[in-house]
Amino acid sequence: MSRFAESHVEEAGLEWFKGLGYAIEHGPDLLISERGDDYGRVVLIDRLRSALSRLNPRLPSTAIDEAVRKLTIPESATPLANNQAMHRLLVDGVPVECQRADGSTAGEVVQVFDFNDPGANEFLAVNQFTVSENKHERRPDIVVFVNGLPLAVIELKNAADEKADVWKAFSQLQTYKLQIPSLFAWNAILIASDGLTGRIGTLTADRERFMPWRTIEGETLAPKVLTELQIIIEGVFEKSRFLQLLRHFIVFEDDGSGNVVKKLAGYHQFHAVNLALASTLQATKKTGDRRAGVVWHTQGSGKSLTMAFYAGRVILEPAMQNPTIVVITDRNDLDDQLFGTFSRCQSLLRQQPAQAESREHLRELLKTASGGVVFTTVQKFFKTEDEVKFPVLSDRRNIVVMADEAHRSQYDFIDGYAVQMRDALPQASFIGFTGTPIEKADANTRAVFGDYVSVYDIERAVQDGATVPIYYESRLAKLKLDESKRPTLDEEFEEATEGEEADHKEKLKTKWAALEALVGAEERINLVAADLVAHWEKRLEAMDGKAMIVCMSRRICVDLYNALVKLRPAWHSDDDAAGAVKIVMTGSASDPLEWQPHIRSKPRREELAKRFKKASDPFKIVIVRDMWLTGFDAPCLHTMYADKPMRGHGLMQAIARVNRVFKDKPGGLIVDYLGLAHELKQALATYTESGGHGKTAIDQEEAIEAFLKHFEICEQFFHGFDRSKWIGGTAAEKLSVLPAAQEHVLQQQDGKQRFVKAVSDLSKAFALAVPSDAALEKTGDVAFFQGVSAVLAKSTAEGKPDPGAVDHAIRQIVSQAVSSDEVIDIFAAAGLKKPDISVLSDEFLAEVKGMPQKNLAVEMLKKLLQGEIKQRSRKNVVQARSFADLLEKSLTKYQNRAIETAAVIEEMISLAKDLKKAQDRGEQLGLTEDEVAFYDALEVNDSAIQVLGDAQLKVIAQELVKSVRANLTIDWTIRENVRANLRVIIKRILRKYGYPPDKAEKATATVLEQAEALSRTWTAQD
């Protein structure tokens, strides 16, 4: 029975492309015919030139030639800059100069694709497309070409191989980017898959931003019986969808620290924008009701970018006839944040957006005859004193008003500013974008926008890995305050925004003032500060990241800051570029003197935002009143301390600050000092009433329960094992416990695999449960489990660790318990020096044999032998296979408990000695290492040895090395014509020396396989 291999995954992928109408080619077949026998040439130039001529029939050949030159010779200094420049040419066309009949020159644009008629383009999927660059030769599994340009690279792994998962494919793509960057100048999409699991990303996407694609047609999730690879290929590469993604759904954005990030829409954004466009076209018709609908995508899932993609799509839609887009928010800081996102997406909008600086400026901007993207707060739609009604600024129907967080009461669409906006733009259509649902009772919002056109809820966002779950912990009981001093919230309580607090002095006489006095009482502030410091320091031990403290007033922000730095003076710094804790708030010169150090200009606040978003920056804690609570993304933020009354949409938006994906962050935590449980329940009721699935915030008790469950699983592995020295011993004593602990796990059925998985689950649960008492009292045990897992994992790790997997947010507490090193060396833990297999001494083998931990001895020998056999397989296939078979037989007997552990150790030590002897065979035979490899390939056949003898086999081996090496070319392993020629040469040599004819076919195949193993070494030497 043939085994399932990576090539089967590749074949399946090509079948799905064929079903989409793509032409299929085998990479080696294109080398001579289309690449000029040059592995460095990655564009299929004849196909490109043919497509450009076909799509631009009125342009002369000189214009086509110039376009081909510009498209095939990247001119930027870095691969990403090349990719960004090429993307603009692919989407907008290539500017060229043409000579007119009168001899003068004129500018023209050569279109690279026909976006309106996908069938006019040529779509091609090529497998095994070898690229050679800077002495590196790489062969991606599938490269997708459109009109001769390589737009997508797909790397595949074997679904049946547990070690070859989707992240191995992801790592392979990272290698390609470094070693063959020329292939990626035109790249739009990268795909990594093991056949079952599939992930899609861009040139700059890190591991957490390689996301699933879960739909084929529309928003309906694809059936679970389909593999993720099939869903990605059929969902993304259907011709019209692929061209849409390329044209409308890719953006290059500065991440705030000067790094450019290439972003691709997720499936939920892609389909939401297309549905919103369709409803907008309907709404703006003469018969339309001007209600384009509401897009509800949960916070953290890329709503701002979805809005930018939508605006770009509407602007380029011919039926909209160069529309005007008006983006409204209800707060200046939100206006700034959203304007910043759109400004960074100018390439999508094909223009620079404008931000209304004043009411007068807004009126000027909206009097335009066509076009434009205008940002404003709703408050700027304000009548002058002598106006009875707001004047009409434009009665065009192709004006679209995009409202951010459309349900906000501040918009007041019945008799507030928004009414005046509708007076100003009487024919405009309205579309709402929101991260939280619209309440069923909110008829006003529905009257203006209509119903949902797209919903992407918490449950789906968490499943997709677009966000992480949020947990909730109440710390009220930890604040030992008299009942009379405890603040309580009631239904009538009204929130005050930061601006209102400053502007409306009458607030000081309200319930708000009474509550603020209780919340900000000195005794309470000191209690909160002390609890918060202890809580945060424990959180930080378990998981690296940042915290946000939300206070009720600016006075409380300052007082809490002072209380914190009194407890931890090292957290303070007067310098914006230093210090662990800062307040971010607005203010003026009239504010109290002690507030002034915390009142910063907008540029200074922006610099602080950059610091806070940078995970490695020591700025760990920010204190806010209501800045940064909406539209602010800091993925490394995982804990929010809430000490401010919040409810409804405001509460939902605030807590979503901690739901961003970051490395292996398992979730965010809301720590409640004020008693917001009721408000959270109300928010959840609104959420589920609106049809949303998933929990807005999960009680931390659930995290603690999960931790205890995983802890119990790990505990069961060590039933009857004494680990007291770990808990109370010195570092040396702790280290000495590990070999026996490993032995204990290894004695159990599948012990190692099950235990490593159990500890991984436990570590995530621990990070979420800290600093509950239940978690803290088991810290020493968790450290022990992590320590044993670390050495067990190391005993099986092959090759170098995946750098993407090593970079964790979850901290291994074992590193503080035992050593500063992240991974404990298994040999050191067992009291042995780490050996080098090439000089594996009898003394070392005797030491291993004498170890009391026999199962650990097996693991160590297994690791050493597997490593050496893997090395040998690169040079001598037959020898490596023989040793691998012997090792596998020994291990199978060991795993099935069919043989005593001591006997397995004897077998493995004998194998190690034979491996060592095998290295010296070349000297004994008088052959080079390469010649020995071919000698072994011939010697496999017993009858050949009897007929020809050693001396003749040596001569054949020497001639084979000489002839095969002379006839190798790059990529020969997958070029059938070269392989066929090599077969002829090998058979001729075997026939020449009288090799048994009945065995020649098998010997030829083995020699070819051996040549393939050695070819990389030979190519590098040549």
pLDDT at 494: 47
CB contact set of 506 (below 8 Å; sequence gap of 6+): none
> Quick check: helix, strand or coil at residue 117?
coil
Higher-pLDDT residue of 371, 981: 371
Q: Which residues, in sequence order, are bridge partners of residue 472?
A: 670, 699
Assigned superfamily of 265-456: P-loop containing nucleotide triphosphate hydrolases (3.40.50.300)
pLDDT band per the 50, 70, 90 thresholds, residue 498: very low
Tokens of 797: 């790790």
DSSP conformation letters of 715-781: HHTTTT---HHHHHS-HHHHHHHHHHHHHHHHTSTTHHHHHHHHHHHHHHHHHHHTTSHHHHTTHHH
Distance from C-alpha of 383 to C-alpha of 401, rounded to nearest angstrom? 19
Range with lowest mean pLDDT among 713-722, 822-831, 837-846, 946-955: 822-831
In tens, the pLDDT along 886-903 reads: 777 776 766 666 656 667
pLDDT at 268: 93
CB 809 within 8 A of CB 802: no
pLDDT at 693: 67
CB 529 within 8 A of CB 564: yes
Terminal Cα-to-Cα distance of the chain (whole angstroms): 39
Comparing CA positions, the residue from 871, 801, 811 lying closest to residue 836 is 871
Range with lowest mean pLDDT among 186-200, 335-349, 406-420, 680-694: 406-420
Say what percent of the chain tops pLDDT 90.
Answer: 33
pLDDT at 278: 96
CB 772 within 8 A of CB 704: yes
Predicted confidence (pLDDT) at residue 970 exceeds the cutoff of 60: no
Q: Alpha helix (H) ranges present in 455-521?
A: 458-464, 498-503, 511-519
CB 848 within 8 A of CB 861: yes
User: Pairing state of beta strands 621-624 and 546-551?
Assistant: parallel
Tokens of 367: 């009097």
Domain-by-domain residue ranges, the chain? 6-211, 265-456, 481-695, 703-824, 842-925, 929-1019
Q: Cis omega (within 30 of 0) on the bond before 771?
A: yes
pLDDT band per the 50, 70, 90 thresholds, residue 704: confident
Distance from C-alpha of 547 to C-alpha of 535, rounded to nearest angstrom? 11
CB 245 within 8 A of CB 236: yes
Mean pLDDT of 404-410: 65
Q: Give the DSSP H or E segment for 989.
A: helix 976-992
pLDDT at 798: 40
Contacts 24+ apart (CB under 8 A), 95-98: 96/59, 96/63, 96/66, 96/67, 96/70, 97/63, 97/66, 98/59, 98/60, 98/62, 98/63
In tens, the pLDDT along 434-481 reads: 887 776 666 667 777 888 899 888 888 878 877 888 888 888 756 666
CA angle at 277 for the pair 276 and 281, rounded to the nearest 5°: 115
Higher-pLDDT residue of 990, 808: 990
Range with lowest mean pLDDT among 114-118, 210-214, 812-816: 812-816
CA distances from 595 to 255, 553, 576, 584 (A): 31, 12, 15, 11
pLDDT at 441: 63
User: Pairing state of beta strands 429-434 and 354-355?
Assistant: unpaired
Left if phi > 0, otherwise alpha if psi is -120 to 50, otherwise beta: which for 742? Answer: alpha
Higher-pLDDT residue of 430, 165: 430
pLDDT at 411: 55
Comparing CA positions, the residue from 980, 976, 977, 966 lying closest to residue 1015 is 966
pLDDT at 25: 94
Q: Which residues, in sequence order, are bridge partners of residue 133?
A: 136
Predicted confidence (pLDDT) at residue 497 exceeds the cutoff of 60: no
CA distances from 697 to 469, 571, 653, 681 (A): 7, 30, 12, 9
pLDDT band per the 50, 70, 90 thresholds, residue 738: confident
pLDDT band per the 50, 70, 90 thresholds, residue 819: very low
28-42, 413-427, 887-901, range with greatest mean pLDDT: 28-42
CB 439 within 8 A of CB 686: yes
Mean pLDDT of 308-333: 92
CB contact set of 357 (below 8 Å; sequence gap of 6+): none
Distance from C-alpha of 213 to C-alpha of 196, rounded to nearest angstrom? 13
CB 251 within 8 A of CB 307: no
Mean pLDDT of 898-921: 70
Predicted confidence (pLDDT) at residue 677 exceeds the cutoff of 70: yes
pLDDT at 947: 65
Write phi, then psi, for 131 (nearest 5 degrees): -130, 130
Instruction: Identify the residue whose tokens are 């043989």.
Output: 899
Range with lowest mean pLDDT among 75-89, 714-728, 905-919: 905-919
Write phi, then psi, for 85 (nearest 5 degrees): -65, -45
Q: Which residues of 896-921 are buried (b: 16+ CB within 10 A; e: fewer)?
A: eeeeebeebbebbbebbeebbebbee
CB 902 within 8 A of CB 854: yes
User: Pairing state of beta strands 452-456 and 373-377?
Assistant: unpaired
Higher-pLDDT residue of 757, 913: 757
Comparing CA positions, the residue from 151, 155, 156, 171 lying closest to residue 9 is 156
CB contact set of 916 (below 8 Å; sequence gap of 6+): 837, 840
Distance from C-alpha of 992 to C-alpha of 959, rounded to nearest angstrom? 11
Please tell me if the domain spanning 265-456 has the same topology as the one spanning 481-695.
yes
pLDDT at 482: 64
Higher-pLDDT residue of 652, 911: 652
Mean pLDDT score of the chain = 81
CB 140 within 8 A of CB 131: yes
Mean pLDDT of 734-743: 78
CA distances from 884 to 839, 849, 868, 981 (A): 20, 21, 10, 31
pLDDT band per the 50, 70, 90 thresholds, residue 407: low
Predicted confidence (pLDDT) at residue 801 exceeds the cutoff of 60: no
pTM over 0.95: no
Predicted confidence (pLDDT) at residue 817 exceeds the cutoff of 50: no
Q: Which residues of 3-17 are buried (b: 16+ CB within 10 A; e: fewer)?
A: eeebebbbebbbebb
Q: Which CATH class is domain 481-695?
A: alpha beta
pLDDT at 487: 67
Type of residue numbered 763:
S
CB contact set of 552 (below 8 Å; sequence gap of 6+): 515, 516, 519, 520, 625, 643, 644, 645
pLDDT at 917: 72
CA distances from 304 to 269, 432, 439, 614 (A): 10, 12, 21, 20
Mean pLDDT of 851-874: 69
CA distances from 991 to 519, 812, 952, 995, 1012 (A): 95, 63, 13, 6, 22
* Structure letter (DSSP) for residue 642: E
390-394, 735-739, 810-814, range with greatest mean pLDDT: 390-394
pLDDT band per the 50, 70, 90 thresholds, residue 1019: low
Predicted confidence (pLDDT) at residue 805 exceeds the cutoff of 70: no
pLDDT at 844: 61
pLDDT band per the 50, 70, 90 thresholds, residue 682: confident
Report the residue count for the chain.
1022
Predicted confidence (pLDDT) at residue 617 exceeds the cutoff of 70: yes
Higher-pLDDT residue of 419, 291: 291
Distance from C-alpha of 783 to C-alpha of 824, rounded to nearest angstrom? 12
Distance from C-alpha of 624 to C-alpha of 595, rounded to nearest angstrom? 13
Higher-pLDDT residue of 98, 63: 63
Distance from C-alpha of 688 to C-alpha of 152, rounded to nearest angstrom? 40
Higher-pLDDT residue of 932, 159: 932
268-282, 333-347, 728-742, 927-941, range with greatest mean pLDDT: 268-282
Predicted confidence (pLDDT) at residue 871 exceeds the cutoff of 80: no
Distance from C-alpha of 433 to C-alpha of 414, rounded to nearest angstrom? 19
pLDDT at 55: 97
pLDDT at 455: 87
pLDDT at 5: 58
Tokens of 294: 């509401």
Tokens of 405: 């967080």
CB 299 within 8 A of CB 652: yes
Instruction: Identify the residue whose tokens are 């030139």.
Output: 49
Q: Which residues, in sequence order, are bridge partners of residue 721?
A: none
Distance from C-alpha of 139 to C-alpha of 1019, rounded to nearest angstrom? 15
Comparing CA positions, the residue from 136, 199, 206 lying closest to residue 174 is 206
In tens, the pLDDT along 571-580 reads: 999 999 999 9
Distance from C-alpha of 204 to C-alpha of 183, rounded to nearest angstrom? 15
Kindly report the number of other CB atoms within 10 A of residue 587's CB atom.
Answer: 16
Mean pLDDT of 971-976: 61
Predicted confidence (pLDDT) at residue 499 exceeds the cutoff of 80: no
Higher-pLDDT residue of 291, 842: 291
Mean pLDDT of 783-807: 59
Kindly report the number of other CB atoms within 10 A of residue 535's CB atom.
Answer: 21
Say what percent of the chain tops pLDDT 70.
Answer: 79
Range with lowest mean pLDDT among 486-490, 623-627, 978-982: 486-490
Tokens of 223: 């059936």
pLDDT at 186: 96
pLDDT at 987: 81
pLDDT at 796: 46
